[in-house]
Amino acid sequence: MKGEPLIILLVEDNLAHAEMVIRNFQDHRVANKVIHLLDGEAALDYLFRRGQFVNPETSPRPHVILLDLRLPKISGLQILQEIKKNEALLSIPVVILTTSEAECDLVMAYQNYTNSYLVKPVDFAKFSQLINDLGLYWLDWNRQPWS
């Protein structure tokens, strides 16, 4: 794993939120590559290498998945369920990154084996710090089998 680019799959339909995540990673040099997808269907196509994502060279496995809950076509919760029941994807950490503070969303996410549940702060500085800390934890400090 040493020397290889760190890959984050960001599944976020809100372009402003996605831009903030990507810029924060770039500013803090946390990840070498962020793959941004706008809806749940595209996320599953990417993860299961279907359609335009069939080639593993151009659609590499992410080291971590940042997943919004409220997505067009297929919800984040449905994506989480599909990831966690697939042997090839099971070990990829999934971090829910959402605006939802609803207890039922939090409970459902953990019942479906999310690795973390983060609520996006409204304050830009706090959001920036959250993304920086998240990147450092999952891509630098946390040890995974391939690290």
Task: Output the pTM of the full model.
Answer: 0.89
Is residue 113 assigned to a domain?
yes
Is residue 146 assigned to a domain?
no
Is residue 1 assigned to a domain?
no
Is residue 91 assigned to a domain?
yes
Is residue 66 assigned to a domain?
yes
Is residue 51 assigned to a domain?
yes
- pLDDT tens figures, 111-122: 999 999 999 988
- List the domain range (segments joined by +) for residue 19: 7-140
Least-confidence region, from 53-57, 108-112, 130-134:
130-134
- The number of distinct structural domains making up the chain is 1
- pLDDT tens figures, 21-55: 898 888 766 657 899 999 999 999 999 999 999 99
Percent of the chain beyond pLDDT 70? Answer: 90
Give the CA dihedral 12, 14, 125, 66, nearest 10 degrees. 0
Strand ranges across the sheet with 33-37: 33-37, 7-11, 64-67, 94-98, 116-119
User: How many angstroms separate the Cα of 102 from the Cα of each of 42, 68, 107, 109, 127?
Assistant: 26, 14, 9, 11, 19
Do 114 and 95 form a contact (C-beta atoms < 8 A)? yes
pLDDT above 70 (res 95)? yes
Question: What is the average per-residue pLDDT within 71-85?
Answer: 96
Is residue 145 assigned to a domain?
no
Query: What value does the mean pLDDT of the chain take?
Result: 89
The pLDDT of residue 1 is 45
The pLDDT of residue 146 is 54
Q: What is the CATH number of the domain that holds 76?
A: 3.40.50.2300
Is residue 129 assigned to a domain?
yes
What is the CB neighbour count within 10 angstroms for residue 88?
11
